[in-house]
Structure 1
Amino acid sequence: MPAAPPALKLRQPTGIVPWPLILIEGEESAGKTYSAAQFSASERIGQTYWIDLSEGSADEYAAIPGARYMIIDHDGSYRDIVEQLRAVHAEARRAALAGEPPVVVVVDSASALWQMLKTWTTERARRSGRNAAKLQADPDDTFDIGMNLWNDATTRWMEVIHLLQTLPGIAIVTARGKQVTAVDEDGRPVVERGKTVKDWRVQGQKDLAFDSSVWVRMFRDSDPQIIKARSLKLRIERGRALTVPDFTIEDLVFNRLGCSTDSQPRQITALVGDRVAQWLEEHDVEHLADVDELRQLWWSCLDPEHRLTRAEVVTIRNTIEQMVDELQNPPTEMGQRTPTDADRLRAAVQARDELPDEPDDEPKPARRSRRAAA
């Protein structure tokens, strides 16, 4: 008898204007940070949280008349920044459910965040075996950065963007932007009718402008422009930015976009190729240091309610086993881990150029194979 088809999961569209993710980019000293601090004085919003990333303006701009925001204290690491963003996300949700004015978060700036991730990627590439050997022979030699490393950086970037896109409040991101010489695929300047073609570059991950719902550009010597708005009320003609002489974020959000106390976060479900990363994050596996808790999770991932495939279960269990192994066999001061029975077995098998037997189905990362037990 054929299996029943899956049931449709449907909902009615709300028609409500969602809270925006606003990108404010532009030239140095054009007023990007000032406009965000000025917005915090609005009586139509709740608490504003400020994440200063290598800009150093948060304390000074609090002197703007009426400005009221709290600076988020972070240690500069990606993980701490993301955890603080999650805390803001949770607080924004609480405020929304309580019917309070919307929470605002300011990230100043996205350019600094992406630069941090680029530096992290370069450092990882330097430490790889092949590149480390090249640089040891010649510290000034060039080295390759694998696409897998860039993918890791993009994944971290998208984790931040998803939190901002789905914030139950207003997210503001600043970035540096400037006019540059357009170049072709070979890196040569583009020349048309005897003149060098100019282009505008936003310093940040390449999809930053696309992922934002509103894109504002600011200049030192001319009026701000709205480049893009994902909105039915605020229409921007293709190829023609909207110049706004007396630009304020308050006017943009509540008048031009039409946001109100009825606004909701954008309904964006994170897309995943499998449920492994999602499951590990939901159970906070990365931060667990208790072996018994990890072993319980090793068993619980089999629960049908998780809807994990066999391959996903195997991947999750391997991750947990590796963590338990590291907890039970911590590295020494020299960075060398005490060899486990499993390590010795793998070494012996490699020496004989044979494949190991299938491991016993037990949550023991340092288990013996049946051959070794015999």
Structure 2
Amino acid sequence: MPPKIKSRKPTGIVPFPLVLIEGEEGAGKTYSAAQFSASKLIGQMYWIDLAEGSADEYAALPGTQYEIIEHDGTYRDIREQIEAVYYEARTAAQAGQPPVVLTIDSVSALWRMLTTWTQERARRTKKNSKALAQDPDADVDVPMFLWNDAVDRWNDVMHFLKTFPGIVVVLARGKQVSSVDDNGNPITGRWEWKVVGHKDLAFDCSVWVRMRRGQEVEVVKVRSLRMAVPDRKPLQIPDFTIEDLVFNRMGCSVKSQPRVMPELAADRTRPWLARVEAAMDKATLRRLWDAAHPRQSGLGEQEGDIVAVAIRRRLSKLTEPQRDMDDEPLTEAEKLRAAAAKEDADAEKLRAAAAALQDADAEFAGDEPPAES
């Protein structure tokens, strides 16, 4: 049977925006976000302070009302807190309550953290560590796969922000920098404005606001039928407030809906693989094995094979004995032999994955999940 078309009629309702406010230090970015928390048109505002340190101070402004999200500074904890606010906002939206607001000050710090993580990993590669041992000032070559890891983490956060079932306000640093030629050399007398963050940050936001000291606030871009920005000329807004921008100029209301934008994925294994990686015991892996079977999960045969192999690898990692700190380090020859053995074992696992998945019930019929051979 051919697949059936899945469609719906457009609602015409204005979606909640992802607002980017960038600009110079001291231009009023944080002030405007704190001021927005006093709006009677919004629900709870949650504030994530990333290396700026001003969240507590701005709560002294009259009428401000927001909760500061606590985190330990790690990417994992920050991402989990963003996800937690996401589900809180979804609950409020489903109940028809005023929109929850998430403010992040600043996403420039988040991207800086990811680039620093990438540089640190690059310095630990065999090639770079050898070069740095000979010359501490040697250039560090950053492999593309390390940048891809950083971008994946950035995109993971941005998907929550772009589909947030409420209003998101992200603050970023902006500055004027020298233009450069194709070789990266500065061009004398030519300047351009730079937003500190991932290159797609402005593109991903639905409205882009710029603040500079001593100048009117400018809207550089807005994705709206009710508000237009002249071509190649930012729209100046005197007496700017986020409340006026979102509810009056863009036309949002309590009836606004989250942006319907499912995350693109080449297959459906990603959430399953995340659960497998987070599993800390055999019982959890047993439940995942049963749940991931194509008959239960709706995964395709190939997708089920991928999850089955991941479960086996995770089981092996949980059950293999840990080396003691006093153990002698492996020699280069031992490392090569171990790598070759692992490649052979992985190849065998992939060949046996389909058969293993079909025998899942029998494999797990005992008291423990199947062990690695």
Match of 1:53 in 2: 50
Match of 1:136 in 2: 133
Match of 1:367 in 2: 372
Whole-angstrom distance in 1 between the partners of 2:253 and 2:337: 64
Check whether the contact 1:349–1:355 (CA below 8 A) recurs between aligned residues: no
- Amino acid of the structure 1 residue aligned with 2:77: D
Say if 2:13 is the partner of 1:16: yes
Check whether the contact 1:101–1:261 (CA below 8 A) recurs between aligned residues: yes
Structure 2 unmatched ranges of 5 or more: 357-362
Whole-angstrom distance in 2 between the partners of 1:52 and 1:92: 19
- Amino acid of the structure 2 residue aligned with 1:85: I
Match of 1:286 in 2: 277
Check whether the contact 2:20–2:205 (CA below 8 A) recurs between aligned residues: yes
Q: TM-score, normalised by structure 2?
A: 0.88
Structure 1 residues 270 and 337: CA distance shift in structure 2, 3 A: farther
SS at structure 2 position matched to 1:49: strand
SS at structure 2 position matched to 1:358: helix
SS at structure 2 position matched to 1:114: helix
Say if 2:265 is the partner of 1:275: no
Match of 1:7 in 2: 4
Match of 1:319 in 2: 310
Whole-angstrom distance in 2 between the partners of 1:179 and 1:357: 53
Q: Percent identity?
A: 53
Structure 1 residues 297 and 223: CA distance shift in structure 2, 3 A: same
Whole-angstrom distance in 1 between the partners of 2:339 and 2:55: 58
Whole-angstrom distance in 2 between the partners of 1:350 and 1:53: 43
Whole-angstrom distance in 2 between the partners of 1:127 and 1:94: 44
Structure 1 residues 19 and 115: CA distance shift in structure 2, 3 A: same
What does 1:172-183 align with in structure 2 at a 5 Å threshold? 172-183=169-180
SS at structure 2 position matched to 1:63: coil
- Encode CA deviations 1:221-244: one digit per residue, 9 max, x unaligned: 111100000000011111011001
SS at structure 1 position matched to 2:51: coil
- Amino acid of the structure 2 residue aligned with 1:334: M
SS at structure 2 position matched to 1:327: helix
Match of 1:78 in 2: 75
- Amino acid of the structure 2 residue aligned with 1:263: S
Match of 2:59 among 58, 62, 67: 62
Measured after TM superposition, the shift of residue 75 of structure 1 is 0.4
Whole-angstrom distance in 2 between the partners of 1:126 and 1:349: 22
Q: Mean Cα displacement is larger for which, 306-315 or 18-27?
A: 306-315
- Encode CA deviations 1:114-160: one digit per residue, 9 max, x unaligned: 00000111112122232223323333222211111111111111111
- Amino acid of the structure 2 residue aligned with 1:160: V
- Amino acid of the structure 1 residue aligned with 2:9: Q
Check whether the contact 1:330–1:337 (CA below 8 A) recurs between aligned residues: no
Match of 1:220 in 2: 213
What does 1:55-204 align with in structure 2 at a 5 Å threshold? 55-190=52-187, 196-204=189-197
Measured after TM superposition, the shift of residue 187 of structure 1 is 1.7
- Amino acid of the structure 2 residue aligned with 1:367: E
Structure 1 residues 136 and 335: CA distance shift in structure 2, 3 A: farther
Measured after TM superposition, the shift of residue 316 of structure 1 is 2.0
Whole-angstrom distance in 2 between the partners of 1:208 and 1:175: 10
Check whether the contact 2:177–2:193 (CA below 8 A) recurs between aligned residues: yes
Check whether the contact 2:21–2:29 (CA below 8 A) recurs between aligned residues: yes
Measured after TM superposition, the shift of residue 81 of structure 1 is 0.6
Match of 1:358 in 2: 348
SS at structure 2 position matched to 1:182: strand
Whole-angstrom distance in 2 between the partners of 1:66 and 1:356: 60
Say if 2:250 is the partner of 1:245: no
CA root-mean-square deviation: 2.6
- Amino acid of the structure 1 residue aligned with 2:239: D
SS at structure 1 position matched to 2:180: coil
- Amino acid of the structure 1 residue aligned with 2:35: Q
Q: TM-score, normalised by structure 1?
A: 0.87
Whole-angstrom distance in 1 between the partners of 2:78 and 2:261: 21
Check whether the contact 2:45–2:102 (CA below 8 A) recurs between aligned residues: yes
Match of 1:328 among 316, 319, 322: 319
Measured after TM superposition, the shift of residue 325 of structure 1 is 1.9
Structure 1 residues 126 and 349: CA distance shift in structure 2, 3 A: closer
